[in-house]
Structure 1
Amino acid sequence: MASIFLKSTTTLILIFSAFCIATAIILDTDGDALRNGGQYYILPQSIGFGGGLTLKSKSGYSPCPLYITRENDETSPGIPVTIASPARIAIITSSLPISIVFNDIPNICMQPLGWQVIPDGTTGQSYVATGGSGIPFNPTETFSIEQIGDNNVYKISNKAGSGEARDVGFFEKDGLLGITNDIPLPIVFRKAFDVLSMV
């Protein structure tokens, strides 16, 4: 009887632990929970890796869509993004499907600024670019945030295609954001503005 009780207790602990990990609250650099619909700067976790995120055309290609790179100036936070989920909850948790959309800024492409994954047939790589609708129902536009370290350090993943999580990072060759499973980008989130939840 004690053995059955111990096994049941162990199973419940494992289930509870898995639930807690799966629903961990994502925190910003102030230690506050990321708000659903909040606006944040996405910054490299360590110095020496450039500043926040900004937009640029891909060299040698059409000027559109706009791709994502880092500010050269490490003191620049870049362009803020809105992080949102269709779930009717106030805060963002790990593994929650989200959309990421740059704040509306003038751009030559006249396209939405939602993130989406675009495969490049010439290189075989997949890049993260703008042009997404900003609604995380299409797998190429659905991202999630996962914790990878202490001190509120995270990575961004995409679950396009088969649903397998693929990590987002920068390609060394061109400095553009893309699917780089071997080298996920460690990031932190800094508040851009005080905004209310979507809920």
Structure 2
Amino acid sequence: MKILLLTLPLLLFAFTTQADIVLDTNGDPLLPGAQYKVMPVIWGPTGGGLFPGKAGNSAYPVNVLKSFSEVDFGKPLRFLPLIRIGIIPTDTYLNIEFVETPEGVSSGNWVTVKDLGETWTVGIGGPQDHEGFDTLEGLFKINKSGSGYKLSFLPYVNGPMSGDIGTYIDDDRNWRLVVTDEQPYEVVFSKVEVESS
């Protein structure tokens, strides 16, 4: 009887914890440093994956864009938690970066940039990559949303720029990621199998 009473809380903890773990499209836990492509929850006319591209007057691909093509799965990303953990639970503070840094850009690390009027967009690199625009570094989180997940942004400094990551089509027909308090962009994570050399 004592063994049963001791085992029950451990089982309840395991089930509760399992519900809080971010899962990829195979049902496996999201792993820090592994490579993933971020895709929309709903396939088809909702477009494809994320990639670094040029928007506005940028000379280099410093903006995080969403493909209009559902067969374009985008570029691989890594999720890097602030604390050393083996899997990524929801609501964990993360850095997000593209695995490959585009030529002419200081890094593939995600930042937010005020380059679309009063709207903060998601870009990569640092202030030197977004001259003439305010940039804000911070951390991202992944949480459940509908049948998938949503990303949200929290700046290092307190301010009104925190919020969920949504999408917006700008005047040049670029499908951009933006910080919003409206409809979040619901996504899934598809693991990229990397061949060992």
Provide TM-score, normalisation by structure 1. Answer: 0.75
CA contact (8 A) 1:167 1:180 kept: yes
Counterpart of 2:67 in structure 1 is 71
Q: 1:3-45 CA distances to partner (integer Å, 9 max, x unpaired)?
A: xxxxxxxxxxxxx99xx58x81000000000001111000011
CA contact (8 A) 1:65 1:131 kept: no
1:169 aligns with 2:163: no
Letter in 1 for 2:168: F
Q: Identity of aligned pairs, percent?
A: 28
CA contact (8 A) 1:132 1:141 kept: no
Matches within 5 A, 1:173-188: 173=170, 174-188=174-188
Which of 110, 119, 132 is 2:114 aligned to?
119
Aligned residues, how many?
170
**CA distance 1:115–1:124, change in 2 (3 Å):** same
**CA distance 1:141–1:193, change in 2 (3 Å):** farther
Q: Distance in 2 between matches of 1:189 and 1:100?
A: 13
**CA distance 1:84–1:172, change in 2 (3 Å):** same
Provide TM-score, normalisation by structure 2. Answer: 0.76
1:149 aligns with 2:143: no
Q: Distance in 2 between matches of 1:96 and 1:80?
A: 20
CA contact (8 A) 2:60 2:105 kept: no
List alignment gaps of at least 5 residues for structure 2: 1-11, 128-135
Counterpart of 1:91 in structure 2 is 87
1:54 aligns with 2:75: no
- After TM superposition, which residue ranges in structure 1, 4 or more long, deviate above 2 angstroms? 161-165
1:159 aligns with 2:154: yes
Normalized per residue, which structure has more strand? 2
Q: Distance in 1 between matches of 2:61 and 2:71?
A: 26
Q: Secondary structure at the match of 1:146?
A: strand
Q: Distance in 1 between matches of 2:180 and 2:89?
A: 23
Shift of 1:106: 4.1
Shift of 1:103: 1.4
Q: Secondary structure at the match of 2:137?
A: helix
1:44 aligns with 2:40: yes
Moved more, 164-173 or 174-183: 164-173
List alignment gaps of at least 5 residues for structure 1: 1-15, 134-138
Shift of 1:141: 3.1
Q: Distance in 1 between matches of 2:122 and 2:47?
A: 18
Letter in 1 for 2:189: F
CA contact (8 A) 2:52 2:102 kept: no
